[in-house]
Amino acid sequence: MSEETKKPAGKKKLELDPRLAEYRGIWVFIEHERGTLHTVSWELLGEGRKLADKLGVPLAGVVMGEPGEDTRRFCQEAFYHGADHCYLMEDPLLKDYRNQPFTKGMTDLVNAYKPEILLLGATTLGRDLAGSVATTLKTGLTADCTELNIDVEIRSLLATRPTFGGSLLCTIQTLNYRPQMATVRPRVMAMPKRDTTRSGDITEHKLSMIESDIITKVLEFIPDQNTNKINLEYADIIVSGGKGLKKQENFQLIWELAKVLGAEVGATRPLVQSGWVEAGRQVGQTGKTVRPKLYIAAGISGAIQHRVGMDASDVIVAINNDPNAPIFDFATYGIVGNAMTILPALTEAFRRELANRRAEAVAV
C-alpha cells in the first residue's frame, strides 16, 4: 500500500489561493564564488529533487555570475545533480558577490518566473542574499534548516531547524505567502549521485542595472591561504579535543593521532576561545557541522551545542574519564579513561595496524 492511499479518507484537499497557485516549481540557488562552487548547492539539488517529485513539479537551479565558461559549466553540473532546468543571469556586475545586484537579480527572477519554493545554502553568501530577498519579496524565510519536507495536500514546505541551541527542533511553515524560502545548513543533506546522462534547458534573464547604480565596491579579495586551509566539513576522519585535555601542550596528542590517521583536527568551543586552536576548527552549533566516517572525541563532554555539529558521524569513538559524560549517550564506542594515556596508545595502535596492513600488502 502506498503512502497516498493510507491517508485518512474524508480529509478535504484545501484549495490554494489562486494568487499563490500561480507559483510553481522548486528553485535552488547555485552558489559559487571566484570559480569555486559551494557543494551545498548539490546537496540542495539532491533534497530539492525529492521535494519536486513529491509535488510533481520541475526542479530548477539558479546560476548568477559574470559571463564566461564557469556559469555554463555550473548549469551543466546542476543538471547532472538533479535539476531539470536552469535560470541563468550573466552580467559583469555579478563578478563578485555584492548584496545589491544579487538581491535585485534574484528578486526579478522570482517575480518573473514565480517558483513556489526557493532554497539557498546557509552560508555567509546565502544568508546575506536570502535575508534581503525575503524582505524585498515580503515573504517568509526559515533559516539554517536541517530537514525539509512537504505537506503535499496544501503544497506547503515543512522546514525543520534546531532552536534553543539545538536542544529542540521546530518545524516552520509559510502558509499564505510565496515563494516559501529556506536556507539549509551545509553538510546535513546527503550529496546526490552525479548522473552525466541528465540534461536540461536554460532560461536566460538580464540584470537590468549598471555599475553606477551600485553603491558598494569591492576593493580587493583576500583568499584564505590554501596551505593551511581547514577542510573540516568534508573530512572523512576527524580527531577532536576538548577541555578534558587540560593543557594546551596536551592538544599535541590530538595532532599526533590525526597525523597517523591522515585526519583533520577539530575542537570544542572553549578551546577555540582560549586560543589553543583556530576558530575554523570548532565543531558545533556555532562552528562547523561535520559528518565523517570516523569521529574521535577526546576529553569532550558532549554538550548539545557540540553534539549537533557531529552526531551524524558514522562511527563516534569517545574517550572521557567520566563514565557519566553525556557523550557516551550517543557515541558508538566509549573508553572510560585518561585521554593523556589513551591517546598515545591509540596513536601507537593505529600506527602498528597500518604498518601491518602495508606489510601484508607487500607480502601478497
Ligand X SMILES: Cc1cc2nc3c(=O)[nH]c(=O)nc-3n(C[C@H](O)[C@H](O)[C@H](O)COP(=O)(O)OP(=O)(O)OC[C@H]3O[C@@H](n4cnc5c(N)ncnc54)[C@H](O)[C@@H]3O)c2cc1C
Residue 194 beta carbon to another protein: minimum distance, rounded to whole angstroms: 20
For residue 191, give every residue at least 6 positions away whose Cβ sits within 8 Å of its Cβ, in sequence order, or none.
39, 42, 43, 46
d(CA 304, CA 285): 8
- Using rule CB under 8 A, residue 190 touches another protein: no
Q: How far apart are the first and last CA of the chain?
A: 52
Restricting to residues 15-34, name those near another protein by CB under 8 A: 31, 33-34
CB nearer ligand X, residue 26 or residue 283:
283
CB nearer another protein, residue 37 or residue 202:
37
Compute the CA torsion angle 109, 115, 120, 125 (nearest 10 deg): 20
d(CA 106, CA 129): 9
CB nearer ligand X, residue 88 or residue 300:
300
- Using rule CB under 8 A, residue 124 touches another protein: yes
Q: Which of 320, 331, 346, 347 binds ligand X (CB under 6 A)?
A: 320
- Using rule CB under 6 A, residue 270 touches ligand X: yes
User: What's 15's DSSP letter?
Assistant: P
d(CA 200, CA 28): 15
d(CA 189, CA 171): 17
| Binding-residue pattern over the window 277 to 316 for ligand X, x denoting contact by CB under 6 A | -----xxxxxx-----------xxx-x-xx--x-------
d(CA 15, CA 18): 8
Restricting to residues 333-352, name those near ligand X by CB under 6 A: 338-340
Restricting to residues 300-359, name those near another protein by CB under 8 A: 305, 311, 314-318, 323, 327-337, 341-342, 344-346, 348-351, 353-354, 357
Do 350 and 294 form a contact (C-beta atoms < 8 A)?
no
- Using rule CB under 8 A, residue 293 touches another protein: yes
Q: Which of 108, 234, 236, 243 binds another protein (CB under 8 A)?
A: 236
- Using rule CB under 6 A, residue 250 touches ligand X: no
112 binds, among another protein, ligand X, none (CB under 5 to 8 A by kind): none
Restricting to residues 90-129, name those near ligand X by CB under 6 A: none
d(CA 3, CA 102): 40
Helix (H, G, I), strand (E, B) or coil at 303: coil
- Using rule CB under 8 A, residue 79 touches another protein: no
Long-range contacts of 357-360 (CB under 8 A, 24+ apart): none
Applying CB under 6 A, the residues found at the interface with ligand X are 165, 242-244, 268-270, 282-287, 299-301, 303, 305-306, 309, 319-322, 325, 338-340
